[in-house]
Amino acid sequence: MPGPANQAWERIERPIVQAGMGGGLAGGALAGAVSAAGGLGTVGMFPPRQLAEELAVARRLAKGNPVAVNLLVPFLKQAHLTVCVQGGAALVVLHGGWPAEPITRLQAAGIPVFATVGTVTQARSAVAAGATGLVVQGEEAGGHLVGVERSELAVEKVAVAVPGVPLFGAGGVAEAEDLTRLQAAGARAAVAGTRFLLTEECAAHPLYKARVMEAQRTVRTTLFGFGWPLAHRVVENEAVRRWCGPDGRERELLYHLNRRSAPLARILPLGAAPLLARLQRPSIPLYSPAPPLASMPTRCVEATALYAGETAPRLNEVLPAAEAVERLCP
């Protein structure tokens, strides 16, 4: 397995990784605050120019601590890799695939590359492609899913299948006991998403955060998959109630429409996502993966993806990111 010289992520004070939530949710303010608190902050995916700006903000706020970047493979451009190399990313996480060329380029620049996987088969494939480490995702995670079983069990299986490969466990992380559980299964650190969604530094719309805190359950669906039909876990809103059954399964016509829209990820500019989100309506079932941001009108909350994991019912307050890191550590 390749071994890049830059392993700064191994020196984080606390084994807490903030998920690199895309769509503008995890910007430089959030990632920088998490890294400054001793965890590993992660800048989510933006268009290349904005990614460079957010990464610079994160590194400035991180007080010399490492900062990671999360890249969504269906939307990945060479310019994103250039930003990671020139911007000083300490680690890159690939979500939605593990193509060998980006892995090779990043590792040649001394940047370790982790791939998000959910099964043993995926783990072996990612390691064979050159991944430095793996984010092992459980089915209870929020956002876009590759996990198919509980996170603890998935970590245990992958740890046996690819011994010696560094693992982060993702899914079901709301408090310190969850970190302890995943570490016992074989993870070096725990990745938390919903906990950091509910922070002051996260750019999610305030009503989105409120809906997550009020939620009693989440559903797995592909409703918000126009252009990227990977399954995702969300809190229900008007769009979900209108077009999905109680289990989150959308009407068959919408499922096939989203599946056929996958090539659009390579055509539409990433910067178009917020605009598409503003145009969405509960009555018109064409839903992009973009979440509602604080800068968007309140009505967007009913027609966009309210990503959240199964930890939502256990979380009931918005915290500063540094305090969230503190609470996640035993």
Render pLDDT for 166-200 as a digit per residue (tens, 0 to 9). 999 999 999 999 999 999 999 999 999 999 999 99
Residue for token pair 């359950």:
217
Helix runs in 93-203, H state only:
100-108, 120-128, 151-161, 176-185, 194-197
**H/E stretch holding 31:** helix 28-36
pLDDT in tens, 33-51: 999 999 999 999 999 999 9
Look at residue 17 and give its three-state secondary structure: strand
Average pLDDT, the chain: 93
Measured CA angle at 193 (ends 113, 168), to 5 deg: 40
pLDDT at 274 over 80: no
Nearest to 135 by CA among 197, 209, 192, 90: 192
- Residue 223 makes CB contacts below 8 A (sequence gap 6+) with 234, 239, 240, 243, 244, 248, 250, 254, 258, 285, 287, 305
Residue 125 · residue 98 · CB < 8 Å: yes
* Tokens encoding 273: 């996502």
pLDDT in tens, 73-127: 999 999 999 999 999 999 999 999 999 999 999 999 999 999 999 999 999 999 9
pLDDT at 151 over 60: yes
For residue 318, CA distances in Å to 19, 173, 209 come to 16, 16, 8
| Rounded Cα distance, 194 and 44, in Å | 14
| Rounded Cα distance, 306 and 107, in Å | 34
Provide DSSP, 194-211: HHHHTBTT--B-HHHHHH
| Rounded Cα distance, 203 and 292, in Å | 9
Residue 119: Cβ within 10 Å count: 18
pTM: 0.93
User: What amino acid occupies position 311?
Assistant: T
User: What pLDDT, on a 0 to 100 scale, did the predictor assign at position 255?
Assistant: 74
* Tokens encoding 84: 């990671």
Torsion sign over Cα 234, 265, 83, 294:
negative
| Rounded Cα distance, 65 and 82, in Å | 21
| Rounded Cα distance, 257 and 137, in Å | 27
Query: Average of pLDDT values for 259-272?
Result: 68
Provide DSSP, 287-313: --SPPPBTTS-GGGGGTS--B--TTGG
CATH 3.20.20.70 in the chain, residues? 8-202+315-328
| Candidates 3.40.50.2300, 3.20.20.150, 3.30.450.20, 3.20.20.70; CATH matching 8-202+315-328 | 3.20.20.70
Look at residue 168 and give its three-state secondary structure: strand
The strand ranges marked E within 29-77 are: 41-43, 67-72
* Tokens encoding 158: 């992958």
For residue 232, CA distances in Å to 20, 96, 145 come to 15, 12, 5
Look at residue 271 and give its three-state secondary structure: helix
